[in-house]
Amino acid sequence: MYGYGYTKIFTEVTDSVTSLHISRTQMNIIQHIYMNGSATPSELAEALNVQKSAVTHTVKKLENKKLVTVKENTLINDKRSKLIYMTEDAKTLLEEFLDNILKRIQSDLGGLSKEEADKLYTATLTILKYIPGGNHNETCS
């Protein structure tokens, strides 16, 4: 039931971002970079469970939209290696996306009492603790 509610809210908010011509894969890349600061195409492919060629294609689209920049990876001694960073425009887009999710949840749950809201918050933290990737770098073993 919790997953259904999350999926419904996420789908509605994602649809609003899609109207801005940002695909789910593009948003996933932006979110990953936001959480990690930067990423290589290989890291993104592994994290998103897609082919590296698909990441390269999607990153090109994001570059054209001025949502990411691609720079030489100076952390290793390979001039072919690239690091992808998000731009300020991407950060603004992501913050609007997350704000829309919060507003949607608040409107759906506006009738909760303080006690019910506290219980839901505690339950959500518990669920996130046990979902791999639920909290950044906090997963149950």
Answer yes or no: are the C-beta atoms of 129 and 140 closer than 8 Å. yes
Q: Which fold has domain 2-108?
A: Arc Repressor Mutant, subunit A (1.10.10)
CB atoms within 10 A of CB 128: 13
pLDDT 10s digits, 62-75: 999 999 999 988 88
What's the burial of 136, exposed, middle or buried (CB within 10 Å: 0-12/13-18/19+)?
Answer: exposed
pLDDT 10s digits, 24-47: 889 889 989 988 899 999 999 999
For the chain, the structural domain boundaries read 2-108
Per-residue confidence (pLDDT) for residue 95, from 0 to 100: 80
pLDDT 10s digits, 108-126: 777 778 888 778 777 777 7
